[in-house]
């Protein structure tokens, strides 16, 4: 999904797949490539001086709190990342977390993934992913 050539295509396929679910609303297909580029390729966008143009005005977003304002609440700004994909300060690294699942939870997950695989076996993009998840759950259950 991060590939420069196929990323937007895969995002479109994912949106089409998700739009089949009741209650899921995706953006119009003609906008998906634009949204994909803004969300996935934000680092490339932020390195250029090309600000782009706004399609519509939005209300002014309040400025993030200052260090002094955070200090009032005992918050060290160096210990958390603000959620701004256009200016990230999180490098998403650290120790790997392995959630502690019970044997029954793994069995239930395996059952659900297998049912999904049966239902979407013809989905050439989804089926291999589900098989990978099933393999991972089976390996996890063995340990």
Condensed to tens digits (0 to 9), the pLDDT of residues 61-114 reads 566 667 787 677 776 666 554 444 445 455 556 677 677 888 999 999 999 999
Q: How far is CA 70 from the centre of its chain?
A: 28
Q: Which residues contact 3 (CB under 8 A, 6 or more apart)?
A: 10
The pair of three-digit structure tokens given for residue 27, joined into one six-digit string? 């953006």
Q: Which of 4-8, 103-107, 121-125 is most confident?
A: 103-107
Looking at residue 25, the DSSP 8-state letter turns out to be -
pLDDT of residue 7: 83
How far apart CA 61 and CA 68 sit, in angstroms, is 20
Q: What is the pLDDT of residues 15-54, one digit of tens each?
A: 888 888 888 888 888 888 888 888 887 766 554 455 555 5
In this model, does residue 13 exceed pLDDT 80? yes
How far apart CA 14 and CA 12 sit, in angstroms, is 5
């Amino acid at each position: 999904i991060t590939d420069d050539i196929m990323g937007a295509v895969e995002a479109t396929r994912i949106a089409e797949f998700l739009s089949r679910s009741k209650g899921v609303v995706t953006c119009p297909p003609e906008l998906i490539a634009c949204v994909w580029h803004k969300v996935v390729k934000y680092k490339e966008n932020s390195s250029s001086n090309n600000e782009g143009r706004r399609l519509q005005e939005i209300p002014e977003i309040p400025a993030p709190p200052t260090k002094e304002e955070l200090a009032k609440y005992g918050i060290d700004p160096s210990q958390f990342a603000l959620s701004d994909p256009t200016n990230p300060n999180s490098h998403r690294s650290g120790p790997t977390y392995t959630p502690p699942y019970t044997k029954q939870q793994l069995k239930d997950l395996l059952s659900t993934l297998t049912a999904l695989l049966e239902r979407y076996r013809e989905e050439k993009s989804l089926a291999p992913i589900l098989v990978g998840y099933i393999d991972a759950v089976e390996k996890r259950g063995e340990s």
